[in-house]
Amino acid sequence: MDFRWDIVWAYRALFLNGIWLTILLTVVGVAFGLILGLLFGLGKISKYKLLSMPSILYITFFRGTPLYVQILLIHFAVIPSIFGESKGPVFSGMVALSLNSGAYIAEIFRAGIQSIGKGQMEAARSLGLTHGQAMAHIILPQAFKRMIPPLGNEFIALLKDSSLLAAISAPELANASRIIQGSTLRPWEAYFPAAVLYLILTLILSRIVHGLERRFSNEGRTS
Amino acid sequence: MRGTRALFPLLILFLAMGLILSACGSKTAAPNEGGSPSAGQTDANGTTSDQGTAKKKYIVGSDAAYAPFESVAPNGEIVGLDIDFVKKLAEVGGFEVEVKNIAWDPLFEAVKNGEVDFAASAITITDERKQTYDFTDPYFVANQLILVPEGSDVTKFEDLKTKRVAVQNSTTGHEAVKKLLGATSPQIKPFESTPLAIQDMLINGSDAVVADNAVVMEFVKQNPDKKLKIIEDPTFEKEYYGLLVKKGNQELLDTLNAAIKKLKENGGLKEIFGQDLK
């Protein structure tokens, strides 16, 4: 197997641009995923059908269908029918990743909240806090600590899943490989660097998550 | 009590909706497509109205993963026969072009929704595609070739009946193979690109590839060590490449056809593609 580093080097700009967009897509997906996840996670455990039903539907759909299919649907059907035109693959990609991660994060929130003993809520309420106050000040902070490891998993999965956006030609890392493979007709030089780059990105991300985990657990111990 | 409790989550819901919508709005202007400044004014009909007497500028979509027709050079520039061709067209037609790289499947959608004004991407003119799009006059004749490993017993298209055939998804090669093996035959392996289809055959995932002549020949030229055999079959119909234009955009169609005509007459077409097309 002759591996030509000169090809990889020659196409470095394409890889670099791909990395930046991959990071941007992941950050956006995580940010909106967290917002959606909190909303729909709370929605799902709500006693009110009006809130819980839409949440359950949303979570079921986005967890129960492949992201690849969601991306194609959102890019080719949903966005054009809402805006009347395509907003570009990057926009569709951000929407798809956010909605998808939102559904998974909602389940992480739900599980985190439900893992906090009932007594915590009862105690908070008996101190005169409203349900919302108790949730915001007592339950969520405790739940969040437990949610960090699964959230970390979700972020890493999201980073790798952003590669599926190559299907709608969002110029991220996997798409860079696709273009290089099609232009040089060589698969190794196109996909091997991408694998290494994804690995580096996920390693960095897992270090960050690990750091967060440690910080929050120390805080819990000292106070 | 009940009232406030029900209000709280509802409030967040609305707040978040607002947040998402406003973020969506601002994101449309985000870095995105590598910047096509004057494309901003392109309207649904693909006519760009630049200020003053500046030339009209068209955004051209191309799936630049299809050497030698369109590929990406190491410096990031989109190059290839089709690109040379549209640049020549712009020259004789008195307009400007900017090429945008869009993957094959979304490319058709991009023409339809006006993201690009037209597509130049080795697109074969077919009746099926004509129902949804308009094509310019043809500018290149292509025919399908069968690519097999040197020792293969395949000698003609019919022989593929018992073989696993790799193709590029939704290309004319794919169509031809579908006619032979049945539209949903599990023997057909559609790939995202022709080079990938060929790679699949090289690792013995399939027995043959059916694809456009220029790409097959380019691959064999680039990979002399791979021991491959090209088979021509006269039963393949000749195919004609055209530029893909949004249905009903007569003005652009006329502009492009006039330019193609000029290139045919002055020999520019032969200069680029090495073949005459009358």
The mean pLDDT value for A126-155 works out to: 93
Determine the Cα–Cα distance for residues A47 and A59; give it in Å rounded to an integer: 17
Please indicate if any CB of chain A lies within 8 Å of the CB of B106.
yes
Q: How many CB pairs under 8 A join A and B?
A: 130
Residue with tokens 């799936």: B63
State which H helix or E strand residue A48 sits in.
Answer: none
Token digits of residue A223: 């106070």
| Stated length of chain A | 223
Residue B111 to residues A29, A102, B50, B55, B253: CA-CA distances in angstroms?
28, 32, 20, 21, 13
Token digits of residue B260: 């193609």
Token digits of residue A191: 């996909």
Give contacts of A178 with chain B, Cβ < 8 Å.
65, 103, 192-193
A169, B27, A158, B190 alpha-carbon torsion, rounded to 10° = -20
> In terms of CA atoms, which chain B residue is nearest residue A178?
B65
Per-residue pLDDT of A69-114, as tens digits, reads 999 999 988 998 999 877 888 999 999 999 999 999 999 999 999 9
Say which DSSP state A136 is in: I
Determine the Cα–Cα distance for residues A130 and A127; give it in Å rounded to an integer: 9
Asked if B102 and B118 touch (Cβ cutoff 8 Å), the reply is: no
Determine the Cα–Cα distance for residues B212 and B237; give it in Å rounded to an integer: 12
Give contacts of A81 with chain B, Cβ < 8 Å.
none
**Distance from the Cα of residue B245 to its chain's centroid:** 12
Share of chain A above pLDDT 90, in %: 80
Determine the Cα–Cα distance for residues B203 and B224; give it in Å rounded to an integer: 16
Please indicate if any CB of chain A lies within 8 Å of the CB of B75.
yes
Determine the Cα–Cα distance for residues A134 and A113; give it in Å rounded to an integer: 12
Give contacts of B30 with chain A, Cβ < 8 Å.
90-91
Determine the Cα–Cα distance for residues A145 and A207; give it in Å rounded to an integer: 16
B194: burial class by Cβ within 10 Å (0-12, 13-18, 19+)?
buried
Backbone torsion region of residue A123, taken as left when φ is above 0, otherwise alpha when ψ lies between -120 and 50, otherwise beta = alpha
Instruction: Give residue A186's pLDDT band: very low, low, confident or very high (50, 70, 90).
Output: confident
- Answer whether residue A205 shows pLDDT above 70: yes
Cβ within 8 Å of B, A 100-129? none
A110: burial class by Cβ within 10 Å (0-12, 13-18, 19+)?
buried
Token digits of residue A185: 């007709």
Determine the Cα–Cα distance for residues B116 and A169; give it in Å rounded to an integer: 14
State which H helix or E strand residue B212 sits in.
Answer: strand B208-212
Please indicate if any CB of chain B lies within 8 Å of the CB of A167.
yes
Determine the Cα–Cα distance for residues A111 and B100; give it in Å rounded to an integer: 45
pLDDT for B207 equals 96
Per-residue pLDDT of A47-76, as tens digits, reads 999 999 999 999 999 999 999 999 999 998
Which residues of chain B register pLDDT less than 70? 1-53, 278
**H-type helices in chain B, by residue range?**
2-27, 81-93, 104-112, 127-130, 172-181, 194-202, 213-222, 250-265, 268-273
**H-type helices in B191-249, by residue range?**
194-202, 213-222
A133, A139, A140, A141 alpha-carbon torsion, rounded to 10° = 100
pLDDT for A184 equals 85
Token digits of residue A57: 């539907």
Give contacts of B107 with chain A, Cβ < 8 Å.
169
Instruction: Give residue A218's pLDDT band: very low, low, confident or very high (50, 70, 90).
Output: low
Per-residue pLDDT of B239-252, as tens digits, reads 999 999 999 999 99
The mean pLDDT value for A177-205 works out to: 92
Determine the Cα–Cα distance for residues B194 and B140; give it in Å rounded to an integer: 19
pLDDT for A1 equals 61
Distance from CA of A10 to the nearest CA of B (A): 5
Handedness of CA B92, B95, B99, B104 (dihedral sign): negative
